[in-house]
Chain A
Amino acid sequence: MDGWWGCYNTVLIAVKQQKKSRIDDPEEVSVWFRKCSSCQEKFVQNQRFTETLVKMPGADKETDLSERIESFLSELKRCGSGAGSLRGSAETARETTALLRRITAQARWGNAGDLMEIIRKEGRRMTAAQPSETTVGNMVRRVLKIIREEYARSRGSTEEADQQESLHKLLTSGGSSEDNFRQHFAHLKANVIEAINELLTELEGTTDNISMQALEHIHSNEVIMTIGRSRTVEAFLKDAARKRKFHVMVAECAPFCQGHEMATSLSKEDIETTVIPDAAIFAVMSRVNKVIIGTQTVLANGGLRAVNGTHTLALAAKHHSTPLIVCAPMFKLSPQFPNEEDTFHKFVSPHEVLPFTEGEILSKVNAHGPVFDYVPPELITLFISNIGGNAPSYIYRLMSELYHPEDHEL
């Protein structure tokens, strides 16, 4: 029997009633789930009961999976990106993809449509846990695109025909294709898992791919400026330092001063590093040859959502006609557009900006501590990603290759 999971009472009922082993009809699935959610408490309390009493093969796999999802969500909620994140974006992307692979392997689904529904649901929960961590949503969309591709390949049709959104097609076909992924293919699961494995390999190699391009962009005796701490840029500069000698100026990024960590780590590799306060960015910019930064997200219009202070840095670079190079792996590319100013920003506690030791004036003063900055695409010269260098005007094409337009809204 394939396993199912539910609360103690539900499972007992199921055993007694000798329910079918496989649930094909989606309606029935929801019935079971509904029963569980209605007495959720009991399920949690009797978890051990269900495991010992009703030890159905696959039952613990399911609980294991849901536990993993829950723990991943709680970690996302706790350590958001930007302000002192405990892990970098690459790690988050890897963990998300690994989790999605596990869901594909262990959840119950009959056809591609079910799988996509499940993944979409989990994806919505994950992005809701930490909206500023966009890599999670990006990975979910990538996996959805993989599923679509694999399904199309199994069906035998080419992808191009489905992908193109020409106006002619819209008129003639009368809306989206009729195909709602209901056909069952035996090898779909294996293919999808294999494709996700390829994605994981690609993710593991992104930093190396980007660092390999370092020598093409850094010449000797340059002065390079960067801001805050980006693991990608760190690897990029360290790789170039093996062969070339140059000088790096790191703008510490108040109030978290991640620039200090970056500077100590770079100076350990014998790179001449200088830490400057944020206020001195424009003052020293006249002697800087290149500005190389990392980012939290690359937006669909080619703009950036990066750590605060980056917009000032970009404006100063534009004033001195210094090239601004962004090192961003492809999993940071997000199909969002920066149209909503209020939801775009994330703030940290004003205590970081104006500590409680200041006393009474805190009650009479507003203090703001935004974490991110928006940098418009006109200020950016080049994007360096694991698939090579691109101009900001090309980002929209890359996006259409990575994500399906119907997945832009999870």
Chain B
Amino acid sequence: MADSDGRQVDSINHSTEEDVKLQEVVQAKCEGKELTKEEKQRLRKEKKQHKKNKKDDRGPPEKEKEKEKASVLAPSKPATQSPAHKAPVPVNASASESPVAAEKPAKSKAEQRAERRARQDTERASKQGKKEGGQQSASSKPKATPNELQPVVKRLPEHIQVDDPAALKKLAKKLERQQVPLRSDYGYKVSLFSHLHQYSRKNPPTQQISIPATVIHPSIVRLGLQYSQGIIAGSNARSVALLHAFKQVIQDYSTPPNEELSRDLVNKLSPYISFLSQCRPLSASMGNAIKHIKKEISNIPSQCKEEEAKRRLQECIDSYINEKIILASEAISKYAIEKISDGDVILVYGCSSLVNHILCEAFEKQRKFRVIVVDSRPRLEGREALRRLVKKGIRCTYVLISALSYILPEVSKVFLGAHALLANGYVMSRVGTSQIALVAKAYNVPVLVCCETYKFCERVQTDSFVSNELDDPDDLIVTRNGKTHLENWQTVKSLGLLNLVYDVTPPDFVDLVITDLGMIPCTSVPVVLRVKNVDQ
């Protein structure tokens, strides 16, 4: 927009109509930076519209007016957001643009203002469907109707669109702009999962980053490596590690001149998030944490000093970890211990930090029970849980998941952890959880799921195919008695290995969900989500 600066002086002497619009823009700018982006979007769309209607007699003066508006707005354009916005919004906005643009000279100021507000509302509604931590300063806008009933045009997350070459190209362009390395898929993918990524653990994206990394903060690079190698695993651990890394980033951040901390910091975080999702797709808990942080950052008033702002953010992160994770697990333990009685035989699957915590607490409160730990290949996380429980002194038995039918007649209760709870009541958790719930149901053993509320997410899903994570297929290879059957699986054309990470359990297998808000049935998850949204 460099050439428009010259025209800026000329166009100020234009008709009152434009003055009105200018005032509107300035007024909008003071209200909050949300509008400025929407204004920019609108301007871009109107430009496109005007290019279409070149025959219109308003052509040239309108163009100048648009450009003037563009130059008046804040010069810092967050480049990362642009391709994301363009995709769904022009579809419904351009339809509304054309009749409105034609009638503009005929309408009065008030009607124009009303139209603009209506357009902003629809754009805001379409932005709500975005997955990538869009800023939600919903309460500060004068709204006609509450959010829930407006049509939500969701943008599909990138990580389930691997079979679409257009989406891949877009992602590649975005990553190039952010200077984040693109990770390539590995190995033969089973046809049912061609819409998902499949990476190899041997090629972490950190290898493609030059030293010293200028764009990406070193603690984020370290975190990405820890994620991709599986050193940090488990949704609570990943979220906490992420928040600590963000604390470090905020500590080292310094506002560049002519920038506001609230806007610039968010823009700085975007490439980090892209990088982390290249290392390992973000979990639902991480997504919620990031949303919260971005909201907090964008709510920092512009007159706040940098040191003060940073301190505030650090406190905010600390309180988030404290409330949502640590205190939540205390509350959940208290509820869960009521459900454990003496003489119980409790079955647990894999390594859930929350369930381990509950069992250790119950043991300290002198409950007499014994635990059966079920484990599965290839991750074998149950061994870690076994070590922790045995260290505490709890009596344990260990089996593999194929021996489930043998061991279940002895079991009195099943405690499961969750990765996320979906809005239709399905429980998303480590692969194998749904199997345990199924067989427990067949033997009439109660199944209790323990989950903090920050893991609740608005997505819905009915099977384990549409959105999942594919881990390194080489993990399935095993050497027994000196023979490795699958050693050269890559050379055999029709052989594929499938290493799923998550699966969804239908709500009829789950008897109770224990959260920090209390003990609820699986079907009450959307109620909790609605309550949380209203609070925010």
Residues of chain A having any CB pair with chain B under 8 Å: 84, 247, 249, 252-257, 260-261, 263-264, 267-268, 270-284, 286-287, 308-309, 311-312, 315-316, 319, 345, 353-354, 358, 361, 364-370, 373-374
Lowest 4 A-B CB distances belong to which pairs?
A279-B432, A309-B402, A311-B405, A283-B503
Q: How far is the CB of B477 from chain A (nearest CB, A)?
A: 8
B398 touches A277 (CB 8 A): no
Of the residues A276, A277, A367, A373, contact of B406 by C-beta under 8 Å? A373
On chain B, which size bracket covers the interface? 35 or more
A312 touches B500 (CB 8 A): no
A281 touches B435 (CB 8 A): yes
- Closest residue to A269 on the B side, CB-wise? B494
The 8 A CB mask of B264-303 against A (1 = contact, 0 = none) is 0000000000000000000000000000000000000000
The 8 A CB mask of B167-193 against A (1 = contact, 0 = none) is 000000000000000000000001110
Task: Point out which of B387, B402, B485 has the most chain A C-beta atoms below 10 A from its C-beta.
Answer: B402
What separation, in Å, do the CA atoms of A379 and B396 have in the docked complex? 32
A257 touches B400 (CB 8 A): no
B396 touches A254 (CB 8 A): no
B397 touches A368 (CB 8 A): yes
A282 touches B435 (CB 8 A): yes
CB within 8 Å for A366 and B397 given contacts A264-B495, A274-B496: yes
- Closest residue to B495 on the A side, CB-wise? A267
Task: Point out which of A260, A261, A272, A367 has the most chain B C-beta atoms below 10 A from its C-beta.
Answer: A260
> Chain A residues near B493 (CB, 8 Å)?
267, 270
> Chain A residues near B396 (CB, 8 Å)?
364-366
B431 touches A271 (CB 8 A): no
Q: How far is the CB of B380 from chain A (nearest CB, A)?
A: 10
- Closest residue to B503 on the A side, CB-wise? A283
B492 touches A268 (CB 8 A): yes
CB within 8 Å for A353 and B497 given contacts A263-B486, A361-B390, A365-B386: no
Q: Is B378 engaged at the interface, CB distance under 8 Å to the other chain?
A: yes
Q: Is B520 engaged at the interface, CB distance under 8 Å to the other chain?
A: no
The 8 A CB mask of B382-420 against A (1 = contact, 0 = none) is 010011001000001111111111110000000000000
A368 touches B431 (CB 8 A): no
Q: Is B320 engaged at the interface, CB distance under 8 Å to the other chain?
A: no
What separation, in Å, do the CA atoms of A279 and B496 have in the docked complex? 17
> Chain B residues near A374 (CB, 8 Å)?
405
> Chain A residues near B152 (CB, 8 Å)?
none
Q: Is B439 engaged at the interface, CB distance under 8 Å to the other chain?
A: yes
Q: How far is the CB of B247 from chain A (nearest CB, A)?
A: 35
A278 touches B390 (CB 8 A): no
What separation, in Å, do the CA atoms of A246 and B505 have in the docked complex? 28
What separation, in Å, do the CA atoms of A271 and B495 have in the docked complex? 8
What separation, in Å, do the CA atoms of A254 and B403 have in the docked complex? 9
CB within 8 Å for A275 and B399 given contacts A308-B406, A315-B438: no
B478 touches A257 (CB 8 A): yes
- Closest residue to B509 on the A side, CB-wise? A319
Known A278-B402, A312-B435; 4 more pairs at CB < 8 Å = A252-B476, A263-B485, A267-B493, A311-B405
CB within 8 Å for A275 and B495 given contacts A280-B432, A368-B397: yes
Q: How far is the CB of A291 from chain B (nearest CB, A)?
A: 14
Q: Is B118 engaged at the interface, CB distance under 8 Å to the other chain?
A: no
A312 touches B476 (CB 8 A): no
Task: Point out which of A267, A277, A280 has the most chain B C-beta atoms below 10 A from its C-beta.
Answer: A277
Of the residues B398, B400, B497, B498, contact of A365 by C-beta under 8 Å? B398
Q: Is B101 engaged at the interface, CB distance under 8 Å to the other chain?
A: no
B438 touches A316 (CB 8 A): yes
B402 touches A254 (CB 8 A): yes
Of the residues A275, A283, A353, contact of B431 by C-beta under 8 Å? A283
- Closest residue to A256 on the B side, CB-wise? B480
Q: Is B434 engaged at the interface, CB distance under 8 Å to the other chain?
A: yes
Task: Point out which of B378, B387, B465, B486 has the most chain A C-beta atoms below 10 A from its C-beta.
Answer: B486
* 10 CB-based A-B contacts, threshold 8 Å: A257-B478, A260-B485, A261-B485, A263-B486, A272-B496, A275-B497, A282-B435, A315-B439, A358-B383, A368-B407
Q: How far is the CB of B341 from chain A (nearest CB, A)?
A: 22
B400 touches A353 (CB 8 A): yes
What separation, in Å, do the CA atoms of A253 and B402 have in the docked complex? 7
Q: Is B304 engaged at the interface, CB distance under 8 Å to the other chain?
A: no
> Chain A residues near B399 (CB, 8 Å)?
353, 367-369
What separation, in Å, do the CA atoms of A261 and B404 have in the docked complex? 23
B485 touches A282 (CB 8 A): no
Of the residues B191, B192, B431, B442, contact of A279 by C-beta under 8 Å? B431
CB within 8 Å for A277 and B376 given contacts A260-B486, A361-B387: yes
> Chain A residues near B465 (CB, 8 Å)?
284, 286-287
What separation, in Å, do the CA atoms of A276 and B383 have in the docked complex? 21
Of the residues B376, B397, B464, B496, contact of A254 by C-beta under 8 Å? B376
- Closest residue to B500 on the A side, CB-wise? A280
> Chain B residues near A252 (CB, 8 Å)?
377, 476
> Chain B residues near A353 (CB, 8 Å)?
398-400, 403
Q: Is B463 engaged at the interface, CB distance under 8 Å to the other chain?
A: yes
What separation, in Å, do the CA atoms of A281 and B499 have in the docked complex? 12
Of the residues A247, A270, A280, A309, contact of B503 by C-beta under 8 Å? A280
Q: How far is the CB of B298 from chain A (nearest CB, A)?
A: 38
Of the residues B403, B464, B478, B494, contact of A267 by C-beta under 8 Å? B494
Of the residues B190, B191, B402, B503, contact of A308 by C-beta under 8 Å? B402
> Chain B residues near A283 (CB, 8 Å)?
431, 434-435, 464, 500, 503-504
What separation, in Å, do the CA atoms of A346 and B478 have in the docked complex? 24
> Chain B residues near A345 (CB, 8 Å)?
406
- Closest residue to A307 on the B side, CB-wise? B402
A282 touches B480 (CB 8 A): no
> Chain B residues near A354 (CB, 8 Å)?
383, 398
Contacts of B442-467 to chain A: CB distance below 8 A = 442, 463-465
> Chain A residues near B434 (CB, 8 Å)?
282-283
B400 touches A254 (CB 8 A): yes
What separation, in Å, do the CA atoms of A316 and B506 have in the docked complex? 13
B500 touches A287 (CB 8 A): no
- Closest residue to B463 on the A side, CB-wise? A286
B406 touches A370 (CB 8 A): yes
A365 touches B397 (CB 8 A): yes
Q: How far is the CB of B211 from chain A (nearest CB, A)?
A: 36
> Chain A residues near B376 (CB, 8 Å)?
254, 277-279
A273 touches B495 (CB 8 A): yes
- Closest residue to B486 on the A side, CB-wise? A260
Task: Point out which of A84, A270, A364 has the most chain B C-beta atoms below 10 A from its C-beta.
Answer: A364
